[in-house]
Amino acid sequence: MAEAPAPAVAAPNLFQTVNPATGEKGPAYQGRTVDEALSIAADVHRAQIAWRRTGFKERAPLMKNAAEVIRDNSMRYAKLMTDEMGKPIADSLAELDKCASCCEYFAEMSDKILKPLNQNVRSDSRLPFGGVKNSGYGREVSEFGIRELCNIKTVVIEEL
């Protein structure tokens, strides 16, 4: 019985894309070493720490710009999505339009819908677990404490 030919293997650290709809090879991308990947992850982590402290007013123009970039490059991005995922071009364009619309929506609405919900918990580490009568202090291990620490809220957003 003849052996099947060995599949073609890309060079080490080279990732070859294949259009799943046609089987045709697409672009190949150079991989990273473990050290490079760890360095990139550390850079991203530092950037995320700064980003999470960025207010809505600073984020909104960036999100609007992201929407504009997506719309300005939608045909190029859609072709890439189609070539690498086998997605019909119409579906790729629709997905990009949805992404751009989401960027615009959150740029406009995030300050209205993403309000801080958590407040300081009335507790003091010097007080005993279980509480001091009905004071609300020292209740961490009771069901009341869990509710207070979680700050479960219901948020109703009116139609805008």
Tell me what pLDDT residue 136 has.
54
Tell me what pLDDT residue 69 has.
97
Q: Which domains does the chain have, with CATH numbers?
A: 14-114 (3.40.605.10), 115-160 (no CATH)
* pTM to 2 decimal places: 0.59
Tell me what pLDDT residue 129 has.
54
| Amino acid, res. 76 | R
Tell me what pLDDT residue 22 has.
87
Cβ pair 60, 107 in contact under 8 A: yes
Q: Give the Å distances, CA to CA, from 39 to 13, 46, 50, 114.
A: 17, 11, 17, 32
Tell me what pLDDT residue 37 has.
92
**Residues in CB range of 101: below 8 A, 6 or more apart:** 67
| Amino acid, res. 160 | L
Q: Which parts of the chain sit beneath pLDDT 70? A: 1-12, 115-160
pLDDT tens readout for residues 58-70? 999 999 999 999 9
β-bridge partners, 15? 29
pLDDT tens readout for residues 14-28? 899 888 888 889 889
